[in-house]
Amino acid sequence: MRSERLRPYREDRPMKRELGHPLYWLARGLLKLMALIWLRFESHHSERVPHSGGCILTPNHASFLDPPLVGGGIRHRVVHFMARDTLFRIPLMGWAYRKIGTIAIDRTKGDLAALRSAIQILKSGKVVCLFPEGTRTLTGELQEPKGGVGFLIAKAGVPVVPVYLDGTYRAWPKGAKWIRPVKVRIFYGEPIQPEEFGISEKGKTDYDQVVQLVMRRIADLKAEAEALHTSS
């Protein structure tokens, strides 16, 4: 029996695009075009990202390519990212980050102000991308997640969409000087609803278990990507 092939990314589906700063859509379009040409970029199941309301995207983290490709894979939502505050001190970059709604975070401490900003954005019905692993992998394999992401997920109380990026480690691993022309694909999973995390408003919530569930769903997407690679 022939296995069903996943349909690669196409933008011919009628979707109402979320409003956002024109700079966001310009940057997204240019970066996605370069990814299509140089990396033969494909996106799978972008329709799983809710078309309205707050939600969190949780990709694996293997490369500097990950953030632009997470946003480039969907056309109907504006994705807000978190970036270290030192980048905001670079005049042009800081201006651009502020315009597109990037959240500044101080990595030298537990930045509660940044977490509150992210939660406020989510509760206002927007999309925030969080990398559960925190930093880029050195091996290409999935890493142990950070508990702080579980805390934010629990406090936000919105759906979480697991995301797996395949190929970004081979294309541009940590320490590499050049982006290799390696095929890159992104897979969006089914949203995890707040009630699936067992979050309690009165009792104690195990934030580690929250983020471990997210990592298991990312691992499932990785297996899906590997199966697709084997069958192609």
Residue 13, domain member (yes or no): no
Per the structure, the complete domain to which residue 33 belongs is given by 22-231
Residue 2, domain member (yes or no): no
> Would you call 55 exposed, middle or buried from its count of C-beta atoms within 10 A (0-12, 13-18, 19+)?
buried
Residue 204, domain member (yes or no): yes
Domain count, the chain: 1
Please list, in sequence order, all residues whose beta carbon lies within 8 angstroms of the beta carbon of residue 198, skipping any fewer than 6 positions away.
Answer: 205, 206, 209, 210
Please list, in sequence order, all residues whose beta carbon lies within 8 angstroms of the beta carbon of residue 226, skipping any fewer than 6 positions away.
Answer: none
Residue 55, domain member (yes or no): yes
| pTM, to two decimals | 0.89
Residue 4, domain member (yes or no): no
Q: Are strands 82-84 and 42-44 parallel, antiparallel or unpaired?
A: unpaired
Q: What is the pLDDT along the chain (232 residues), one digit of tens a residue?
A: 343 444 444 443 445 678 788 999 999 999 999 999 999 999 999 999 999 999 999 999 999 999 999 999 999 999 999 988 898 999 899 999 999 999 998 877 777 888 899 999 999 999 999 999 999 999 999 999 988 899 999 999 999 999 999 999 999 999 999 999 999 999 999 999 999 998 766 656 789 999 999 999 999 999 999 998 777 6
| Contact status, residue 52 vs residue 126, Cβ threshold 8 Å | no
Please list, in sequence order, all residues whose beta carbon lies within 8 angstroms of the beta carbon of residue 225, skipping any fewer than 6 positions away.
Answer: 164, 166, 185, 187
Residue 199, domain member (yes or no): yes
Write down the residue that tokens 């990396």 correspond to.
39
The amino acid present at 23, given as its one-letter code, is: L
The token duo for 222 is: 């990785």
CATH number at residue 160: 3.40.1130.10
Residue 222, domain member (yes or no): yes
Residue 11, domain member (yes or no): no
